[in-house]
């Protein structure tokens, strides 16, 4: 493979990843419906990870946690599950201890009642 071909392949791969995890459109040559279905599945998986690790956050959102989280996360690439939880909680208006460190806020969302 030549360098231009390698660079083109790398860009196409990066575009596919952006479509799967950051809400970008599917790159040319990919089935739009298949890419959208895979992106939705990844968002559901991501929501499930947050709900399992931070059950108080999911509980605070009620039955529509998954829908709310997916709507929020659709155009935001994941950095970490903990970051997703705290950033989503702040976006959703769920009160977190203001004076706590980021680790303390994540711990707060994990505590059992």
DSSP conformation letters of 22-78: S-PPPPTTS-HHHHHHHHHHHHHHHHHHHHHH-HHHHHHHGGGHHHHHHHHHTTS--
Look at residues 15, 58, 9, 50 and name the one whose alpha carbon lies nearest to residue 35.
15
Segment 96-106 shows an average pLDDT of 61
How sure is the predictor about 1, in pLDDT bands with cuts at 50, 70 and 90?
confident
Please give the Cα distance from 49 to 65 (Å, whole number).
12
Segment 22-30 shows an average pLDDT of 94
The string of pLDDT tens digits covering residues 34-43 is: 999 999 999 9
Domain boundaries, the chain: 3-110
| Mean pLDDT value across the chain | 89
Whole-number percent of the chain with pLDDT over 70: 84
- At 104 the pLDDT is 65
CB atoms within 10 A of CB 11: 11
- If you compute the radius of gyration of the chain from its CA atoms, what whole number of angstroms results? 17
Please give the Cα distance from 86 to 11 (Å, whole number).
31
- At 95 the pLDDT is 77
pTM summary value: 0.81
């Amino acid at each position: 493979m030549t360098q231009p071909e390698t660079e083109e392949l790398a860009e196409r791969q990066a575009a596919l990843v952006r479509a799967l995890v950051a809400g970008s459109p599917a790159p040319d040559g990919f089935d739009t419906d298949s890419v959208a279905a895979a992106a939705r599945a990844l968002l559901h998986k991501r929501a499930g990870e947050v709900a399992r690790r931070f059950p108080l956050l999911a509980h605070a959102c009620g039955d529509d946690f998954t829908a709310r989280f997916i709507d929020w996360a659709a155009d935001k690439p994941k950095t970490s599950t903990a970051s997703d939880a705290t950033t989503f909680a702040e976006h959703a208006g769920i009160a977190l201890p203001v004076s706590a460190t980021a680790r303390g806020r994540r711990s707060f969302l994990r505590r059992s009642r």
